[in-house]
Amino acid sequence: MLTHRIIPCLDIKDGRTVKGVNFVDLRDAGDPVELAVQYAAQGADELVFLDITATNEKRRTLAELVRKIASLLNIPFTVGGGISSVEDVSILLESGADKIAVNSAAVKRPELITELASKFGSQCVVVAVDAKKVEGKWLVHLNGGKLQTEIDLFDWVKEIERRGGGEILFTSMDHDGTKNGFANEALEKITSLVNIPVIASGGAGSKSHFSDVFKNGKADAALAASVFHFGEISIPELKVYLQQNGISVRV
């Protein structure tokens, strides 16, 4: 049976972990390195670090943070935020990241996915997709959710796989930070369309939400932030709960 992964996500702004609701109203959640070490000790399967204020000038700062994290962690971690070139990815992988996440740059120039997969291998290319329902249709959004496109979510995930993306990180902007549960209907459709792993993001508020996203959304992994950052759910407790509900997890 496939083991499902639990992935804390650390959104980083100016070197600090932050968390908001529906991509706005950010509040401080602590030091990313300290949190990373804690989560690894608690049994997180992987970590995701997203630099939400990433610019070219800050890439060097992010690489330094990655080096620090890599020296302390014994679990895989993904880094994203403003990545737009083979050079960006080289720097982060050489600094110690296991995988990188691309988002807006891949939508603007889908060839980037192919280039990265060809050079580094699909296994380390995660394509993050932020989408929300607009007049009944799931549309992809860019620039941290600020810019709506006319790209259909389900067409885009198929293209990601076709171009060599190794994993999809899908965030429902409507569910982000609300703690009302994941977008299971959309997730189930995504997982039925692609054969690569899908990470669910946006909406975790209770242990049952994780159970639902694996059973109903058919996600391979579930990502969450505030419920972990603010101690509302502990990873060891969550994994015991999932096991008791017949979901295979690494303990």
**pLDDT (tens digit, 9 = 90+) per residue, 94-103?**
999 999 999 9
Residues 6+ apart with CB under 8 A from 20: 11, 26, 27, 176, 177
pLDDT at 54: 58
What type of residue sits at position 181?
G
Helices of type H across the chain: 32-42, 59-72, 86-95, 104-108, 111-120, 153-162, 184-193, 207-215, 226-229, 235-244
Q: What is the rounded distance in angstroms from the CA atom of residue 52 to the CA atom of residue 148?
A: 17
Q: What is the rounded distance in angstroms from the CA atom of residue 246 to the CA atom of residue 251?
A: 14
* Whether the Cβ atoms of residue 66 and residue 100 lie closer than 8 Å to each other: no
pLDDT at 55: 52
* Whether the Cβ atoms of residue 173 and residue 145 lie closer than 8 Å to each other: yes
In this predicted structure, the answer to whether residue 61 has a pLDDT above a threshold of 80 is no
Domains and CATH numbers, the chain: 5-244 (3.20.20.70)
In this predicted structure, the answer to whether residue 240 has a pLDDT above a threshold of 90 is yes
Model pTM score: 0.93
The string of DSSP codes covering 171-203 is EETTTTTT-S---HHHHHHHHHH-SS-EEEES-
pLDDT digits 0-9 by tens, 79-112: 998 888 999 999 999 999 999 999 999 999 999 9
pLDDT at 170: 97
222: part of which helix (H) or strand (E)?
strand 221-224
Q: What is the mean pLDDT of the chain?
A: 91
pLDDT digits 0-9 by tens, 175-202: 887 789 999 999 999 999 999 999 999 9
Give catalytic residue positions.
11, 130
Residues 6+ apart with CB under 8 A from 187: 170, 198, 200, 213, 217, 218, 219
* Whether the Cβ atoms of residue 194 and residue 161 lie closer than 8 Å to each other: yes
Q: What is the rounded distance in angstroms from the CA atom of residue 127 to the CA atom of residue 105?
A: 10
Q: What is the rounded distance in angstroms from the CA atom of residue 158 to the CA atom of residue 150?
A: 16
For helices 184-193 and 207-215, the axis angle rounded to 10 degrees is 30
* Whether the Cβ atoms of residue 150 and residue 108 lie closer than 8 Å to each other: no
Helix (H, G, I), strand (E, B) or coil at 83: coil
